[in-house]
Amino acid sequence: MKKENKIWKDLQKAFNTGVSYMLPTVVVGGIFLAIALGTGNAGDSGMEISNQFMQNLNDLGSAGFAMMIPILSGYIAYSIAGKPGLAPAMILGYVANNPIGSGQVQTGFLGAMLMGVACGYFVKWCKTWKVPPTIRTIMPILIVPVITTFVIGMIYIYVISVPIGLAMDWLVATLSSMQGGSAIILGLIIGAMTAVDMGGPINKTATAFTLALMAEGVYSPNGAHRIAVAIPPLAMAISTLIDRRKYSTEDRDLGISALFMGLIGITEGAIPFAIKDMKRVLPAIIIGSAVGGALGMANGVEALVPHGGLIILPVVNGKLWYVIAMLIGTLVSVAILHFTKPNLEEAAAENS
């Protein structure tokens, strides 16, 4: 039991380390994207920026977001195994967050967390090998990073990503069979899928499904999806404002950034909060997003562009219910967090 507790505490420490190093990229990326996209116009491909300076700012923000997940993965491994774990985990965090393999699967921040932990413990094991002194000098910069990246990378591509790809195909088929059925149930499922991994494979599956329907002139599922993408960051932002004793100063500062990201429909703004307290944050934002998606579908909200948040309100059919559904879903998440998330001192006592 003591060993299990130690492993769990080591993992908590590793996740917190990953989040603390990741936070500046989330803030930089989110604020730059919010400013840039706020000047754009809603078009067929999403928010279209015509000003070159704002496009450059958008590219800087996108770069920040591209670095976010690899940094998370890298510093999770760093916390577990030290410097030799950093490069392999960053590489595999990048791999997890981008399509790879025959099925072009991406697993998002959950996959990157798994890669960070796997690399960390694999490197920790490598460091116990008995090797000659001449080889030991090149172990941390050559042998360990190469072997770790190859072994964990191949396991990810050939073992982990294949069933995930098959599961995503099954999800698309299941959603397609529901089309035209109960609007509320479909809205609930789309909303929940949007929030469960915030940019990961389940979220991307919901996006692909709604985009396919948009191509056929069906816009309601996209409306539910675009309501739901804004709810997790908006909920975390409001929660940090009204329940200040439940969040650190760092979290409250991040809440301001999450607010901007929610307004422009960037779900990833809630990821740092989910990593630090997954058992409370994830259920809250999944339920809130499901409620928002269901309300949007039930009231015939249609989003005409592949983007979300209040920024696309001019190109939404059913504007009032778009806002109401987003607000109610956000408040549901905030209420759940209010009653389930402990104050900081209680959480510290719980983890001690």
**pLDDT for residue 107 is more than 90:** no
Say if CB 265 and CB 311 are below 8 A apart: yes
Distance separating alpha carbons of residues 346 and 167, to the nearest angstrom:
39
Place of tokens 């998002």: 108
Give percent of the chain above pLDDT 90: 47
Neighbours of 9 (CB within 10 A): 12
**pLDDT for residue 117 is more than 60:** yes
To the nearest 10 degrees (0 to 180), the angle between helices 183-196 and 220-242 is 50
Neighbours of 64 (CB within 10 A): 20
Place of tokens 């990201």: 261
CA nearest 273: which of 305, 313, 233, 326?
233
Distance separating alpha carbons of residues 43 and 215, to the nearest angstrom:
14
Among 2-11, 29-38, 310-319, 333-342, the least confident range:
2-11
pTM: 0.85
Neighbours of 314 (CB within 10 A): 10
- Considering only CA atoms, give the Rg of the chain: 21
Say if CB 69 and CB 108 are below 8 A apart: yes
**pLDDT for residue 1 is more than 60:** no
Place of tokens 């940019």: 199
Strands (E), 95-138: none
Over range 212-235, report the average pLDDT.
Answer: 91
Copy the structure tokens of residue 69: 């997940």
Place of tokens 């050559």: 142
Instruction: For residue 278, give the H/E element and its range.
Output: helix 278-298
Burial of 348 (0-12, 13-18, 19+ CB in 10 A): exposed
198 sits in the region (left: phi over 0; alpha: psi -120 to 50; else beta) called left
**pLDDT for residue 163 is more than 60:** yes
* Pairing relationship of beta strands 302-303 and 41-43 according to DSSP bridges: unpaired
| Length in residues, the chain | 352
Among 93-97, 129-133, 181-185, 260-264, the least confident range:
181-185
One-character DSSP codes across 163-176: HHHHHHHHHHHHHH
Q: Residue 181: which pLDDT band, with cuts at 50, 70 and 90?
A: low
**Between 233 and 37, residue with greater pLDDT:** 233
Over range 80-109, report the average pLDDT.
Answer: 89
Q: Sign (positive/negative) of CA torsion 17, 19, 23, 26?
A: positive
**pLDDT for residue 97 is more than 80:** yes
